[in-house]
A and B are shown apart, each in its own frame.
Chain A
Amino acid sequence: MFKLVARKEMSAGTVILNEIEAPLIARKAKPGQFVILKANETGERIPLTMADSDPEKGTITVIYQVVGKSTALFKTLQVGDGYQDVIGPLGRPTHIEKVGKVVCVGGGTGTAVMYPITRGLKEIGNHVIAIIGARTKDLLILEDEMRAASHELHVCTDDGSYGHHGFVTEVLGRVLGEEDIKLVVAIGPVPMMKAVSKVTKEYGVPTLVSLNPIMVDGTGMCGGCRVTVGGETKFACVDGPEFDGHLVDYDELTLRLQGYREDEEHCYNEFCVSAA
């Protein structure tokens, strides 16, 4: 049993923060790595990249958007309740080194994953420009944290309810044109990472993205999370989750993410009905 020690609802209850007691994982976790969580006996195993970890307190933090039954189930957990299983740290940690000026782009809940990496890049001595975006003001998360973790922060909303009215790629394009950027890291929905990579390719700037395919085991034994990078098959759980953004086959990933669409909708609807 992995107990919840803290819980926060954000974005009108659609985005949830869970701080979970997992001392062994907390001691080893590095930015960019993820955990697999299972709520109960019948629950799915799902991956969530860690937004934070505290080795002294012995806790890890995940931030997730409620998009289906499993995340809806996680949302029902209160402080003192627990996840039946939390496994990690999995995946390769982000390679963090001092290169000069870097841009960190976070889209939606991707900002949660971007946060520890942004902090790491700043701590090692890079000049960090952060760009975070969401569809609307209510869906923006970790604005204060990202401001503290960077040297300059730009905020965007698709609907203009806050900050720059437009996509993160517009601000990114401007920054790339004005500054000598050595690295871009982008984490968010697949269309966003694809769009960012397209922009950075034109400027020839190395780009890292963190992929989110469907996973089952997380340790490289099933191949369910396979993605094509540079024409080669890679497993996001052991070779990633970060990859060279210019080499990822985003279209294939987008299709594969739809693999269980009907079953997922059925389960989520049933869950919402029974919860009501």
Chain B
Amino acid sequence: MAEEATEKTRREQIDRQAMPQQDPKVRAKNFDEVPLGYSPETAVKEAERCLQCRNPACVTGCPVGVDIPGFIHHIKEGEFTEAIRNLWGKNSLPAVCGRVCPQEIQCEQKCILAKKGDSVAIGNLERFAADYEREHGSGALPPKAEATGRRVAVIGSGPAGLTVAGDLILKGHEVTVFEAFHKPGGVLIYGIPEFRLPKAIVAQEVNFLERLGVKVVCDQVVQRTVMIDELFEEGYEAVFIGVGAGLPTFLDVPGKNLIGIYSANEYLTRANLMKAYRFPEYDTPIIRGKNVVTLGAGNVAMDSARTALRLGADSSRIVYRRSRAEVPARIEEVHHAEEEGVEFHFLAAPTRFIGNERGRVVGMECERMCLGEPDESGRCRPVPVEGAEFELECDLVIVAVGAGANPLLTKATPGLKLNKRGYVVADEKTGKTTKKGVWAGGDIVTGSATVILAMGAGRIAADSIHDYLTWGW
């Protein structure tokens, strides 16, 4: 008993292990990862902090239900292989989640230690386990169920699609993922920058699925190159639509089409997928502004503003129409952005973009806002303040104010019910759409959200697809 008490005290006295990271001034000039990862010793020490609760609240905060105390226990024991196997039981992309999940509002927020101090660094530990396996692991694969001979088509190789593929391949089904781009990963590859999620890691996560037997075919735009009904004719019995939101929103103000005004999608796709940050080694160019303004304050806006710094901006500003309290981005991303020198201008919105005689943006006129009554999203509606206009000089504007539903597939698929805003209507509990044999999940159903929520939707749909293949619709 005394031994237990001593052990408990010793554990409680361990501080949350800090994640080593690149110095802000240095990292604002390179595309290397900001957090450097735990060493095995640090990971074990952090894992000791976990109280191994009998009724772990952290698990309830995880959209895919990872057995958090389970994998952490293995790390504590130095059983790193067992840790990753435990993780793979619930999460097929742990290297991704360990990096991009907003743990601070999910598992870590629920951690019992968070009540009085710092939570267990669950995200850092997940990342450690995945990275260790990638760098030192044997390459052995988790076991698959017996082959069922049933075929599933997954449309979109983003987080939702990859999760469906990973779940169903382990259950013994044949899975083919159809990707429109020339490389798989969806937002993981075009949206999230290299310095938050290295593309080599995404490639390895996809490769893991391929080694399990998932076929990934790129350059296939479903409802253009190949049709959903053809897939059924070819013998696929279930189709999952995970095509993402993918329709950029622009602000309808004068000058919106000046050269140097990008949607965040275009800016990030050039930088991340087409590697324009390595131009001219890579052929795709990108405008490298000196005075950059990013409109919006979500994660995508943070990614854009931080990328602009790395591409040589002298100043990178966020202009947001609400206040700091309403900022939707992950706290950690806002924090990293500010450390690197991104400036925040709150309660401001553009009324006009100003261009020069060559059609390039040189500035924007803004109005000041104040917060009025809440709108349908529950957030205070910004209201312009009369007579408080001002001008900002800028040569690059990135519009990161949200994305809508890309209609390329949805509008071309009869029988697939869409809501008023063009998102696919899917049952919350199963992911089933109104078209028989077709499921959907992720941003194309919910609107822009997060990687982990898309994965959660993928998990739900995969379970439902498996039931369908086993028992029927």
Contacts and interface: CB of A to CB of B under 8 A. Distances in A.
A221 interface: yes
Give the secondary structure class of A's interface: mixed
Interface residues of B, number: 39
B281 interface: yes
Given A28-B224, A44-B274, A258 B281 contact: no
Contacts of B257: 226, 228, 233, 252, 256
B407 interface: yes
Contacts of A259: 259-260, 287
A69 B269 CA distance: 20
Give the bracket for the number of chain A residues in contact with chain B. 35 or more
Contact of B285 (A42, A45, A264): A264
A138 interface: no
A222 B219 contact: no
Contacts of B274: 44-45, 216
Contact of A256 (B219, B248, B259, B265): B259
Contacts of A255: 259, 358-359
A238 B408 contact: yes
Contacts of A221: 246-248, 265, 269, 406
Contacts of A70: 283
B284 A45 contact: yes
Given A44-B284, A45-B274, A223-B265, A87 B182 contact: yes
Given A45-B284, A220-B408, A87 B219 contact: yes
Given A223-B248, A228-B257, A238-B408, A25 B225 contact: yes
A89 interface: yes
A266 interface: yes
A85 B226 CA distance: 16
A263 B224 contact: no
B359 A260 contact: no
A42 B359 contact: no
Contact of B219 (A85, A267, A270): A85
Contacts of B181: 217
B280 interface: yes
A90 interface: yes
Interface of B: 180-182, 218-221, 224-226, 246-248, 250, 256-257, 259-260, 262-263, 265-266, 269-270, 274-275, 279-285, 287, 358-359, 406-408
25 contacts: A25-B225, A42-B282, A43-B283, A44-B283, A85-B218, A87-B221, A89-B225, A216-B274, A219-B246, A220-B406, A221-B246, A221-B406, A222-B263, A223-B248, A223-B263, A223-B265, A224-B262, A226-B250, A226-B257, A233-B256, A255-B358, A256-B259, A263-B279, A263-B285, A270-B280
Can you list the 8 inter-chain pairs with the closest CB atoms, starting with the nearest? A255-B359, A222-B266, A263-B285, A221-B246, A85-B182, A223-B248, A223-B263, A259-B259
